[in-house]
Structure formats: structure tokens, C-alpha cells
Amino acid sequence: MFRSLLGAIRTQSLQRMTFQDHFKIIFSFVPQGTLAPIVYKEKRAFTSYEGTKYILPSDELEQERLEKQHRIFTRAFDNKLVLPPVILKNGDKVLDSATGGCSWLLDCMKNVPDSVEIYGIDIETRLFPATDCLPDNGLQLCEVDLNSFKGGPVVDKCNALLTALCDSKGLLVDIASQSPEMLLNAGFADVHVDCRSVPLGKWAGKYGEDGGSNIVSVWKGMKTALMTAGGLGFVHSEEEYDKLLEDLNRELDGTPGAQIALVTIYAQKSEY
């Protein structure tokens, strides 16, 4: 179906999905709509896409965070949207799977000829913006390596909490480190991993401040999932969780060296 395809997937603990699943979603593409009713919990909006275990919200706040995170990601990788050398030709197709607010896709559109078709798919189209390469069959994944989140004791607690939350929902917390092997097992070859550390906190200027606030917002976005799971022994009330995130913010701002790694993984497959 796709003569040449460059897939960009930036997910954060994405559930496993087959390409067939993704293609199904392409065909039910609903710009600025929703594929399933939105569920409101604790003033945040969440997708209710059948079978999803996705824990982050799908609302305006998250849309803003994703746009900011995209800028951080792009800067961390030297303003490159695609790491491997790519020459997109007439008729090539690009897939941005789990496109969210389409930030990567829209930037990509500005940099490729009009004759290249770019597709964005997601289980929730509510994050879509308000406007309407690999050699052949390449794939690029962009992940936050949640195992690499370093700071002090509050960061350690947040890491443990996230691991427990992902375990409780059957999500892969270490998708960044597992992806290369998963790609090899799925028949991809020539797997490359490029990892960049991003500083977190005011000690690292505006870049660090943005990185820190992005990470704190990720943990804020997980509040509903955590409270629904009863706090998992880490917190016992919303107030306690809010206080933990204030402490996290403070710790990042005051801990030179606080960081997290962003990982881009790319590979090739000759046939699907």
C-alpha cells in the first residue's frame, strides 16, 4: 500500500499495535473530531478509544505541552526532524503514527515536496490542530527514555510511581530501550539508536526551564490515572500528589545535572 514510508512515532508508553491496526485508523481519519467519546475526569479530557490503556489526557493543555515538547525534541536532535539520510521522491508517502497535535507532521510538510503525501493517525483526533527518510520502508521512533530521568529523591519517587502505574496497566515503561529489539524481532534491520540528554530545571536556562515544566506536566497529566488506581501506595490524596509535583519542580530547578534522555530509533524493513 505504501510504496515508501517514513513512519514517525513519538509515543510515551504506547501500547503495541500492528501496522494493520494503524491502517484501519487511517481510513477512519476524522479531522478535528473524535473516534470515541471524550471522557472528562478531574477537569481533564481523556480518550475512550476502545481497548486503549493510554494514560495521558487529550485536551488543550496536553496539546500545548506536546507542541512545547516537540520544540524541545527538535532542538535536542540539532533541529533535524529525521535522523537518517532521506530523499523523498514523487509519490512517496510518510506516516506519522500517534501524531497527537501533528507538530512533527506539520514541520515535516514544510520540508518536503508537495508531491509527497503525509498521513497522520491517532486513536484521538481531538489533539489535531485547528487547520484543516529513510530509504524505502523506513521507520523512525521518537521516545522519551523514562528510565533515564535523573535528579534527586523526588525524581526517584516519580520514577518508581510511573513504573508502578505502567505495570498496573500493562504498559511498557521502558519502551525506549525495548524498541530496538522489538524492531529486530518484527523483521526490521539496520536499527540505529540516537540518544540525547535534555537538561531539566531553571539552572539550565530557558531550555532547562521548558524541559522541566514539560516533564512536570507529563506527571500532572497522569494524575487521574494514578488516583483512579488508588495512588498505588505512593500518595493518598490529590493534594499529596500536587505537593509531590511542586517538590519535583523545585528539585529540578535546584539540581544542576537533572536530566532526561530523548531517543530516536530508526530502522528499515523491505516488506510489510
Residues lying near ligand SAM in the complex (CB under 6 A): 10-12, 14-15, 17, 47, 52, 54, 56, 58, 66, 69-70, 97-101, 103-104, 122-124, 127
Nine cell digits for residue 236: 493518598
CB of 14 or CB of 216, closer to ligand SAM: 14
- Helix crossing, 153-169 with 238-253: angle to 10°? 130
3-state SS of 159-222 is HHHHHHHHHHHCCCCCHHHHHHHHHHHCCCEEEEEEEEEEECCHHHHHHHHHHHHHHHHHHHHC
**C-beta of 214: minimal distance to ligand SAM in Å?**
11
CB of 14 or CB of 252, closer to ligand SAM: 14
**C-beta of 226: minimal distance to ligand SAM in Å?**
17
Helix (H) or strand (E) holding 151: none
**C-beta of 21: minimal distance to ligand SAM in Å?**
7
**C-beta of 240: minimal distance to ligand SAM in Å?**
25
CB of 214 or CB of 249, closer to ligand SAM: 214
CB of 149 or CB of 253, closer to ligand SAM: 149
CB of 123 or CB of 175, closer to ligand SAM: 123
Q: Are 178 and 166 in contact (CB under 8 A)?
A: no
d(CA 16, CA 200): 29
Nearest Cα neighbor of 173 from 187, 188, 160 is 160
Q: Which residue is nearest to ligand SAM (CB)?
A: 100
